Chains A and B, each alone.
Chain A
Amino acid sequence: MEEIKLMKGNEAVAEAAIRAGVDAYFGYPITPQSEVIEYLMTERPHQRTGMVVLQAESEIAAINMVYGAAACGKKVMTSSSSPGISLKQEGISYLAGAELPCLIVDVVRGGPGLGTIQPSQADYFQMVKGGGHGDYKLIVLAPSTVQEMADFVELGFKLAFKYRNPAVILSDGVIGQMMEKVIYSPQKTRLTDEEVDKKYGSWATTGKKNGRERNIITSLELKSERQEAHNHHLQAKYKKITENEIRYEAINTEDADYLIVAYGSSARISQKAMEMAAKKGYKVGLIRPITLWPFPTDIINKLADQVKGILSVEMSAGQMVEDVRLAVNGKVKVEHYGRFGGMVHSPDEVLEALENKIIKG
């Protein structure tokens, strides 16, 4: 039955995980996402659905526990915040190399280094471009509401298993900490061990049963020719994901003279700035990428033929703006605006940047 709750973004992820029939969560506390594991421990999901929750000794251990369980065909996730995600990057590269489905939640805080515990969007590079080694891609979903924090758990797992690839919810301290109404779909039952064998037995390590060959999960290939072939296979998969899975929201773009591109909490702030701009007589549209990878390149490129300038808004020194510029390919002016290091920009500041950098600039 559908249920409505008032929750923090971090709690919404945790509740959604239980309801999505997730088999295991492995995590390590870090502000501003510790509510995920706290909520899970309090809810005793093992009693509700049989879901396993374990606090690991480090983010490194947590992501490798995810690797082990994901390699068994189970629905497994972890969550962390920026410095913790940096630690997980080794494991993430291995997960991508071994093509293991899983969900990684990053509630971004300001950096670099220990930085601050306040919100930021400066993990775009490390999640979208790959903070680990090698040529790999993660499917990156960017929620802008607490509802989406919940909804993207199921969407993330759907895409992760469809393509045998890690999926990411790239959130930030604003979405993680704020409370909003969440509508939950009914509880999904976890797959039984037999169902896991049936669905994923062709690759998952669940014990070499019924006379089948042994399954091996590895990201190692010592012969360069074969490693190159594996990389070609990965690239073909990434191309397929790019062709099929781009998601974005377009607001007031039909007759826009100017465009803002923003995701997550910056998209919400920019939407308010857009309304304020309309009162001043400016026609401003907004593209909110929902998938940061694959990036909504085509729609931005198309709108570049229509608008006079584009402002990329992100709580960073300018990370996503690189992808916006690649999409625009020099057709119109593209500028970045954003407070960073834990500061959150206001709608007034975004409007002012739009006027100074794009409209008058």
Chain B
Amino acid sequence: MADHKITPEEIIKNGSIVFEKTKLMTDNELSYCPGCGHGVAHRLTMEVIDELGLEEKTIGIAPVGCSVLAYEFMNVDMQEAAHGRAPALATGIKRVYPEKTVFTYQGDGDLAAIGTAETIHACNRGENITIIFINNGIYGMTGGQMAPTTLPGMKSSTSPYGRDVHMMGHPLKITELIAMLPGTVYVTRQAVHTPVLVRKAKKAIRKAFELQQENKGTTFVEIVSNCNSGWKMSPEDSNKWLDENMLAYYPLGDIKKP
């Protein structure tokens, strides 16, 4: 029996499926670099919406950045926002459709630089939306420029000698700032570069969408991610670097709980 190879048909027949393609992800080929955390974050978001039975009432918003084409991959109704404006779009949607489930999916440049005002004010109003915030410390899509979240000393194409905080300012811990606002109900920082963290991140995303159903305020899930291309590292090295550097500055865990 040792050399018997189990076929996919046998597995399905036995009803022993442990994992399958996420129902609410389209068949379109992901535009993300191999090794990037976006794919996992997409999948977790769509799994949660599927598992909570929210497919028919969900409207998502894609940002400008690497996930600008998120609407090509997430199989729910989607809008594409101007750079940084996703929380304003989400506000518009939620105000005319309070019973729908609305989420934004934004990167650090989008959410914490150009869209800081929209982010803070949507959270401060306590809009009943969920914000999924991917923080990889760099502008990925435009080719690795410095982001508001780029670490001190970290090199990018616009901080080629490392981020000099005296000249370029400090990395913005926007999630801690968001947690201070009375409008937010659940603010957490997660990561997706190990299986354990993926499971934790999914729980957090699930909690965020569950709380949205209770209309208690804004829910905000930061996911600290790697950007192996932008950081100019192998996926493996970038995950190690994330662990040692990003998580030291951006510690994981719930910052505000209901």
A interface with B by C-beta (< 8 Å): 23-24, 26, 52, 54, 56-58, 60-62, 64-72, 74, 76, 90-91, 94, 98, 193, 205-209, 214-220, 222
Contact = CB atoms under 8 A, between A and B. Distances in A.
B89 A68 contact: yes
Contacts of B81: 64, 67
Interface in B91-149: 91-93, 95-97, 100, 117-118, 121
Contacts of B89: 64-65, 67-68, 71
Given A67-B89, A207-B56, A23 B82 contact: no
29 contacts: A24-B95, A57-B117, A57-B118, A61-B85, A64-B82, A64-B118, A65-B88, A67-B79, A67-B89, A68-B90, A68-B91, A71-B93, A76-B92, A91-B85, A94-B82, A206-B59, A206-B77, A206-B97, A208-B75, A208-B76, A209-B56, A214-B76, A214-B78, A215-B77, A216-B77, A216-B78, A217-B79, A217-B80, A218-B79
Given A58-B117, A67-B85, 20 more contacts: A24-B92, A26-B92, A57-B117, A57-B118, A60-B88, A61-B85, A64-B82, A64-B88, A65-B89, A67-B88, A68-B89, A68-B93, A71-B89, A76-B92, A91-B82, A94-B82, A206-B97, A207-B58, A207-B59, A215-B77
Contacts of A215: 77-78
Given A68-B79, A71-B79, A208-B77, A60 B85 contact: yes
Contacts of B88: 56, 60-62, 64-65, 67-68
B96 A74 contact: yes
A24 B96 contact: yes
B82 A68 contact: no
A219 B80 contact: yes
Contacts of B57: 207
A76 B92 CA distance: 9
A164 to B, nearest CB: 15
Instruction: Give the one of B77, B81, B91 with max A CB within 10 A.
Output: B77
A216 B80 contact: yes
Contacts of A208: 55-56, 58, 75-77
A74 B97 CA distance: 9
Contact of B118 (A61, A69, A98): A61
Nearest to B97: A72
A216 B118 CA distance: 22
Contacts of B71: 214, 216, 218
B191 interface: no
A215 B57 CA distance: 12
B61 interface: yes
A218 B67 CA distance: 13
B93 A69 contact: yes
A69 B95 CA distance: 8
A69 B92 CA distance: 5
What 7 pairs between A and B have smallest CB-CB spacing? Answer: A68-B92, A68-B89, A64-B88, A218-B80, A65-B92, A69-B92, A205-B77
B211 interface: no
Nearest to B94: A68
Contact of A69 (B58, B62, B96, B117): B96
A60 B116 CA distance: 12
Contacts of A205: 59, 77-79, 93
Nearest to B121: A57
A76 B56 CA distance: 23
A68 B79 CA distance: 8
A57 B93 CA distance: 16
Contact of A66 (B69, B79, B92, B97): B92
B178 interface: no
A216 B71 CA distance: 7
A68 B121 contact: no
B151 interface: no
A220 B68 contact: yes
A216 to B, nearest CB: 5
